[in-house]
Amino acid sequence: MNPFDALMPKPVRMNPKPGGLKIAAGFSLRIEGGAGVKVAKAALRFQKRLADKTGLFLEMGGPLECSLVMQYKREGELVLGEKEGYTLNVTSQQAVLSAETDLGILRGLETLLQLVCVDQEGYYIPAVEISDEPRFPWRGLMIDSARRFQPMDVLKRNLDGMAAVKLNVFHWHLTDDQGFRVESKVFPRLHEMGSNGEYYTQEQIREIVAYAAERGIRVIPEFDVPGHAASWVIGYPELASAPGPFLREINLGILDTVLDPIKESTYLFLEEFFAEMATLFPDEYLHIGGDENNGKQWLANPRITQFMEEHDFKTILDLQCHFNKKLLDILTKLGKKMIGWDEILTPELPPTAVIQSWRGRESLVQGAKQGHRVILSAGYYIDLCQPAEYHYKNDPLPADMELTEEESKYILGGEATMWSELVSPETIDSRIWPRTAAIAERLWSRREDCKVEGLHERLDILSLGLEDLGLTHEKNYPQMLRRLVGGAHIAPLQNLLDLCEPVQGYERVTQRKHTAVSPLTRAVDAARPDARGAREFRDLVALYHGESEVRTRLQEKLRMWACNHEKLAPIIERSPILREVNTLSLDLTKVATIALEVLESPAKKLNEQEKAALEEAKKPRGQLQLMIVSAIEELVTKNH
Amino acid sequence: MNPFDALMPKPVRMNPKPGGLKIAAGFSLRIEGGAGVKVAKAALRFQKRLADKTGLFLEMGGPLECSLVMQYKREGELVLGEKEGYTLNVTSQQAVLSAETDLGILRGLETLLQLVCVDQEGYYIPAVEISDEPRFPWRGLMIDSARRFQPMDVLKRNLDGMAAVKLNVFHWHLTDDQGFRVESKVFPRLHEMGSNGEYYTQEQIREIVAYAAERGIRVIPEFDVPGHAASWVIGYPELASAPGPFLREINLGILDTVLDPIKESTYLFLEEFFAEMATLFPDEYLHIGGDENNGKQWLANPRITQFMEEHDFKTILDLQCHFNKKLLDILTKLGKKMIGWDEILTPELPPTAVIQSWRGRESLVQGAKQGHRVILSAGYYIDLCQPAEYHYKNDPLPADMELTEEESKYILGGEATMWSELVSPETIDSRIWPRTAAIAERLWSRREDCKVEGLHERLDILSLGLEDLGLTHEKNYPQMLRRLVGGAHIAPLQNLLDLCEPVQGYERVTQRKHTAVSPLTRAVDAARPDARGAREFRDLVALYHGESEVRTRLQEKLRMWACNHEKLAPIIERSPILREVNTLSLDLTKVATIALEVLESPAKKLNEQEKAALEEAKKPRGQLQLMIVSAIEELVTKNH
């Protein structure tokens, strides 16, 4: 694939030219127009990545002819809607990267790095004119540090990954039932009693905010209230709607604990707390969660039900809206704008509050119609292990959306959401990448440029570049397999897991109860969404119309799988952790054997036993799903 | 290999019994005797690692029969010579881990985890009685954070690795010419101007000290003076022996910059600085470096040479000894004991100073005879990419050492030293692990138990366990190969690099000038010491005495290598970064072809051209060495 086609996200306008700019040891940089530290640091990172990629001992500075000129007019502000566009003009003499703001330079440098390619003479950047800018101003990734704590290095490498695909909002889910992950000096029992000792100090928070800012990424903290707040009330039981004492929570799902919305002291506490947090997080937006309050504790508390009656609040939602409005006042006083999950969208909610749609697209439309700015996350839940294509097709503003042009402007963009009930620092990258790059492209590139064809090939190329940023989505896979087999001989297990995906949606926790401390080192954790081996097989089957060459390739794969179980079985025997995939392994061998027979005898019809075997092989085992069965059924159909 | 033989380091006394303790979901723990937080946290980590290894959803607490009891008498102090011994008694009913101090419990838990194994029924710990304690009280790893900054996660995962092999001293080389890596609030220009912005804040220093302490590891900071101090004088040129101004240094090697040893203000500065550092580092020892001062700037400064005359200092060393004594006074006043590299060992040095031998064993002997406590690092320079066996054979106190019993007691132990001129966060683990485990065993286990046979097999097993701690010595290898080939098809390159090692000793920098910012992403960086493929081939050749089965296995390998270049050549063509290994790749194919012919024609003698090809293949290319040539020569000899 040529480097222009591989670019991700796709630039708006691109005009490739013949020739290119050689990259050699004398490759030098110059910054014009701005003297900001952001571009200076970005240029250093660019130079390091270029050296790492090419192995060239690049010289720093020196009186050399300049290879790359960066020109910008002003330092961009890290606020919603700031200009991020850039133009890039590469000739055989020089590359010129121009932008209104330094943010544009940052975005352009990522494009430039993706363009580096090779010919007989060495590395070069192909000549091109590019002019680029984002479609949506809000392009985010949410990481949940609460359910499972995510250490600093996880966040940093993911911020690097975000910058590489031009995402610009890091939404940081910092508190939830299972953990309060930010140090509060005002209310220290929040993090001390509300966590297992794993939380971010204020210095670390500042470090992440600065790290993100250097990459042109805003940080929006989320403090989820009034539900999802079990970790708050352990140290401060007076905030709760039910009598304490409370202990640390490792159960997942929707819990009952909810803050008391009728005590003035609750709001005084929140005001003081948010005032403290406002000093840590410079962004003008602050997320208050607001989701999944089941209201049980409110209804069980006579003091609260009496308050509801007095105020003529008919429902839980009415009371929560009261809570939200009080919160909005607090945030407004602190100079902050409020965001919340779509539950906060009620007719009474003042339009200054921003709505994040997660339960479906309805709230996106309804929010925009009510004059709220809205962000789409429904369809971007990357924790649910759905295919990249599914997320990619999910346009925040499709052509047929029933909104006026004016209403459409309220749609700010979207956010991928990495909830962490089922990810550890070891597996989180494999759930974020490379699928989030597809979402990033959807949010940056023109609607008409987001074509599904070639998406996976392009993600595969991008994925290698993401690895160089320290992301572990590829390299932790064989490592986890080594642990599973208790040795270095992983091939038979890999043959199986290359074809398997974790069950999608909320199936995994439906099939087996997990807590916040269950091990995440099983086969289902090593396996990844969009299983590459399964995809390659499906593509091959789709391509197959009786050609002998394709048939041979199919047979090669199927033969390997048909005898895979005899190799894997003794490994499973020695690794009890793998026993839950024994049936899956047998199923693979069975369906591969059936498929081989189908290929080898064109007239063959499946008997009942074979049909049953295919049906069986569709069943999840150990929360894993074999992803080649439908392709084998397709093969059977094609054979006739 | 049975789990007892695999244990690393080997326990002092071990008495295996029949049967074992089953590990199932109800596996529970109890702590008796102590109420310290160290063991409580260690037990949680133990439980998590056990769950991760077995995939069992272990229950926390609960009224279950107790599987593992930990008993200790008191919290150990993190000081030299504190008791670390433990006894472990595993029956089919229960495991009892007893120790005088909590440090012993920590060491025993690591033994216990290494013992986990598998039978038909699942995971279990084999029944055994173990009684164990270290041979030397000072078992260290030095990491150089100065030449190349090493982020927090690098340090943390290596502290975990250290704890796994029972090392107990983290020697932290924090300042050097190329970087001043610790925040000083008293003299902020030290880290601000003396680094590229990469330094540890005081909060981070405290975090590392606490992290190490939780694992029973002391932290000894090193501030290298008076040489290796170019980063100090950028912000404080008045400290220098030569006129400034000074700029940041990226050159490596022995530089001229040295502190001014005759100004009283130098000592006032150092006193204030060390006083600040003393509050950060609780250990009673503090390392002042003292190595590689070439004295050029002293001899070039008339003020200093006059001072030398006045004090009758004949040599640079005399003057440095004056400096050292003043420093010793400062440290003593601060309640700290001084350590330095062996250059500080002069007849005038007061015996309270500890000597770290690095230039050879002579200073170890001489130091001990002069009544200094001494630490061995000569022979433990893991940055030099020498074989594990070489380090393993290096006993700080061999049986034939010419020391009295009294003098022998001055030998405290040893330290592996990870200098960072040529390692990045991506490659550092592969230079530390698994070889440092061999050094750890040498320092913990009885002399007579340290047998070279089986060492590599045991290191291979340990290596997998180390991976689970987040260490990247295995998983970064294929990742780096993917970057080198610019794609996912790494097999031909891996076939070659599995047989290659970085040149040993100081050859790499002799062959090519490197700076502190040269890329470390080349083939030589991906390749690792003790190249496993080469070792396996050499072992096979050693085993070979004409048996057809061994011959077949040799032929399989050689045939693969004989046609490897035709597969690798087009990859090299597309990856200019690999051009430097083109000759190496050709050489592999040539020598493999020769070896195949030798194997296939028993009477064959090498012609001149073939002999020349073998000689050529011994030459390093791109600072890499093909490690199978001598084995092929052996094969030729054996064939006759």
Q: pLDDT tens digit string along B369-411?
A: 999 999 999 999 999 999 999 999 999 999 999 999 999 999 9
Average pLDDT for residues A105-131, to the nearest whole number?
A: 96
Residue B425 has pLDDT above 90, yes or no: yes
pLDDT of residue B639: 77
Of A52, A203, A577, the CB nearest to B55: A577
Chain B nearest-CA residue for A461: B487
Query: Kind and range of the H or E element at A158?
Result: helix A152-164
Per the structure, the count of domains in chain B is 3
Asked if residue A529 lies in contact with residue A386, where contact means CB atoms within 8 angstroms, the answer is: yes
Residues B172-183, mean pLDDT to the nearest whole number: 98
Confidence grade of residue A26 (pLDDT, cut at 50, 70, 90): confident
Task: Identify which of B122, B487, B521 has the shortest CB distance to residue A464.
Answer: B487
Residue B330's pLDDT is what? 98
Kindly state whether residues A462 and A489 are assigned to the same domain: no
Nearest CA in chain A to B426: A470
Mean pLDDT for chain A?
96
Partner-chain contact A464 B475, CB within 8 Å: no
What pLDDT is recorded for position A509? 95
Shared-domain flag, residues A229 and A337: yes
Is the sign of the CA dihedral B449, B454, B455, B459 positive or negative? negative
In a mutational test of the A interface, the residue from B52, B185, B192 whose CB has the highest number of chain A CBs within 10 Å is B52
Per-residue pLDDT at B19 exceeds 80:
yes
Q: Which of residues 319-378 of B touch A (CB under 8 A)?
A: none
Burial of A55 from C-beta contacts in 10 A (0-12 / 13-18 / 19+): buried
The bridge status of strand B411-418 relative to strand B500-502 is: unpaired
Residue B25: the pLDDT is: 87
Residue A479 is nearest to which of B467, B518, B575, comparing CB atoms? B467
> What's the gap in Å between the CA of B153 and the closest CA on chain A?
6
Determine the 3-state secondary structure of B17 from DSSP.
Answer: strand
Q: Tell me what the mean pLDDT of segment A368-387 comes to.
A: 97
pLDDT at A1 over 90: no
pLDDT (tens digit, 9 = 90+) per residue, B287-316? 999 999 999 999 999 999 999 999 999 999
Q: Quick one: what percent of chain B has pLDDT higher than 90?
A: 93
Q: Tell me whether residues A53 and B522 touch, CB distance under 8 A.
A: no
Q: Give yes or no for residue A435 having a pLDDT over 80.
A: yes
Q: Chain A: residue nearest B476 by CA?
A: A475
Residues of A in contact with B517 (CB under 8 A): 48, 51, 60
Q: Is B569 on the interface with A (CB under 8 A)?
A: no
CB of A478 less than 8 A from some CB of B: yes
Q: Does A489 touch chain B (CB under 8 A)?
A: no
pLDDT bucket at A139, cuts 50 / 70 / 90: very high
Q: What is the rounded distance in angstroms from the CA atom of residue B366 to the CA atom of residue B357?
A: 10
Known catalytic residues of B are 292
Tokens of residue A118, six digits = 């090779």
Same domain, B315 and B234: yes
Chains A, B: CB contacts under 8 A, how many?
A: 119
Cα–Cα distance for residue pair A429/B580, rounded to 1 Å: 33
- The answer to whether the CB of B484 falls within 8 A of the CB of B575 is yes
Nearest chain A CA: its distance from B476 CA (Å):
7
A261 and A369 inside one domain? yes
**For an interface test with A, which of B53, B214, B572 has the most A Cβ atoms less than 10 Å from its Cβ?**
B53
Question: Which pLDDT band holds residue B543 (cuts at 50, 70, 90)?
Answer: very high
Is the Cβ pair A577, B51 closer than 8 Å?
no
Q: Does the beta-carbon distance from A519 to B203 stay under 8 Å? A: no
**Could you please report the per-residue DSSP string of B346-367?**
-TTS-TTSEEEE-S-SHHHHHH
Cβ–Cβ of B519/A51 closer than 8 Å?
Answer: yes
- Asked if B357 and B364 count as a contact pair (C-beta separation under 8 A), the reply is yes
State the angle between helix axes of B102-115 and B37-54 in degrees (0 to 180), rounded to the nearest 10.
Answer: 10
Chain B touched by A574 (CB under 8 Å): yes
Count the neighbouring beta carbons within 10 Å of the beta carbon of residue B1.
10
Contact assignment for B486 to A55 by CB distance below 8 Å: no
Q: Which of residues 50-69 of A touch B (CB under 8 A)?
A: 51-58, 60
* pLDDT of A58 over the 70 cut: yes
User: Best of B2, B41, B461, B468 to disrupt the A interface by mutation (most A CBs within 10 Å)?
Assistant: B468
pLDDT of amino acid B64: 56
Distance from CA of B492 to the nearest CA of A (A): 17
* Optimal mutation site among A44, A54, A202, A211, interface B, most CBs of chain B within 10 A: A54
Interface mutation target, options B483, B509, B536, chain A, most CBs of A under 10 Å: B483
Pick from B118, B478, B522: CB nearest A55: B522
Confidence check: pLDDT of A604 > 90:
no
Contact indicator for B375, B354 with CB cutoff of 8 Å: yes
How far, in Å, CA of A606 to CA of B545, rounded? Answer: 55
Considering only CB atoms, A203 lies closest to which of B201, B470, B575, namely B201
User: Does the pLDDT value for residue A62 go beyond 60?
Assistant: no
**pLDDT at residue B488, rounded to an integer:** 81
In this prediction, residue B61 carries a pLDDT of 58
B29 and B83 housed in the same domain: yes
Report ipTM (2 d.p.).
0.95
Smallest Cβ–Cβ distance between A482 and the set B425, B464, B519 belongs to B464
Pair (B388, B486) in one structural domain: no
Give me the long-range contacts of B247-253 (CB less than 8 A, separation at least 24).
Answer: B248/B178, B248/B193, B248/B194, B248/B196, B249/B177, B249/B178, B249/B516, B250/A60, B250/B178, B250/B515, B250/B516, B250/B517, B251/B177, B251/B515, B251/B516, B252/B147, B252/B178, B252/B421, B252/B509, B252/B514, B252/B515, B252/B516, B253/B509
Q: Is B25 on the interface with A (CB under 8 A)?
A: no
Nearest residue on chain A to B570, alpha-carbon basis = A120
Residues A90 and A143 in one domain: no
Kindly state the average pLDDT of the residues A146-151.
98
Interchain CB contact of B37 with A (< 8 Å):
no
For residue A64, pLDDT over 70 is answered with: no
Give the pLDDT of residue A455: 98
Q: What type of residue sits at position A60?
A: M
The CATH code of the domain that includes B28 is 3.30.379.10
| Predicted confidence (pLDDT) at residue A33 exceeds the cutoff of 90 | no
Interface membership of A257 toward B (CB under 8 Å):
no
| Closest among B231, B243, B223, B353 to B291, alpha carbons compared | B223
Inter-chain contact A479–B486, Cβ cutoff 8 Å?
no
Which of the pair, A52 or B1, is modelled with greater confidence?
A: A52
Chain B CB within 8 Å of residue A575 CB: yes
Give B233-287 pLDDT, tens digit per residue: 999 999 999 998 999 999 999 999 999 999 999 999 999 999 999 999 999 999 9
The Cα-based distances of B421 to B432, B508, B514 in angstroms read: 14, 11, 8
CB contact under 8 A, A483 and B475: no
Give the per-residue pLDDT at A639: 77
User: In this structure, are residues A516 and A252 in contact, taking their beta carbons and an 8 Å threshold?
Assistant: yes
Contact of B638 with B545, CB cutoff 8 Å? yes
The pLDDT, as a whole number, for residue A165 is 98
Domain final residue, candidates A467, A501, A523: A467
Question: In sequence order, what E strands does A102-205 have?
Answer: 117-119, 122-132, 138-144, 169-176, 179-180
Is the same domain home to B33 and B63? yes
Query: Looking at the structure, do residues A339 and A449 belong to the same domain, yes or no?
Result: yes
Query: In terms of residues, how long is chain A?
Result: 640
One domain, residues B420 and B358: yes
pTM, two decimal places? 0.97
One-character DSSP codes across B73-142: EEPPPSSTT----EEEEE-SS-EEEEEEEHHHHHHHHHHHHHH-EEETTEEEEEEEEEEE--S-SEEEEE
The nearest CA of chain A is from the CA of B580 a distance in Å of 10
User: What's the whole-number average pLDDT of chain B?
Assistant: 96
* Confidence at residue A143, expressed as pLDDT on a 0 to 100 scale: 98
Residues A468, B474: C-beta atoms closer than 8 Å: no
d(C-alpha A435, C-alpha A382), whole Å: 8
pLDDT digits (tens, 9 = 90+) for B22-76: 999 888 899 988 778 999 999 999 999 999 999 998 876 555 578 999 999 999 9
Q: Taking 80 as the threshold, does the pLDDT of residue B149 lie above it? A: yes
Domain endpoint, select from B110, B132, B154: B132
Cis amide prior to B11 (ω within 30 degrees)? no
Check whether A597 has a pLDDT greater than 70. Answer: yes
CA nearest neighbour of B379 among B449, B338, B435, B420 = B435
The pLDDT tens digits for A234-249 are 999 999 999 989 999 9
Question: A515 is in which domain, residue-wise?
Answer: 476-638
Kindly tell me if the per-residue pLDDT of B5 is higher than 80: yes
> Closest partner residue to B483 among A151, A468, A573, by Cβ?
A468
Q: Are residues B417 and B540 in the same domain?
A: no
One-letter identity of residue B79: V
Question: Which is nearest to A264 in space by CA: A338, A185, A190, A326?
Answer: A326
Nearest to B576 among A57, A123, A514 (CB): A123
pLDDT band at residue A60 under the 50/70/90 scheme? low
**Max alpha carbon distance in chain A (Å)?**
81
Q: What is the pLDDT of residue A61?
A: 58
Whether residue A66 sits in one domain with residue A170: no
Would the CB atoms of A519 and B468 count as touching at under 8 Å?
no
pLDDT in tens, B453-502: 999 999 999 999 999 999 999 999 999 999 999 988 999 999 999 999 99
Residue B602: pLDDT above 90? no
pLDDT > 70? residue A63? no
**CA B189 to mean position of chain CA atoms:** 31
| Chain A nearest C-alpha distance from B118 (Å) | 6
Is some CB atom of chain A closer than 8 A to the CB atom of B574? yes
**Interface contact B517-A48, CB threshold 8 A:** yes
Asked whether the predicted pLDDT for residue B112 surpasses 70, the reply is yes
**Of B114, B132, B150, the domain-final residue:** B132
The HSE-up count of residue A617 (CA atoms within 13 Å, CB side) is: 28
CB-based contact B418:B410 (threshold 8 Å): no
CATH of the domain at A197: 3.20.20.80
**Is the Cβ pair A522, B483 closer than 8 Å?**
no
- pLDDT at A532 > cutoff 60: yes
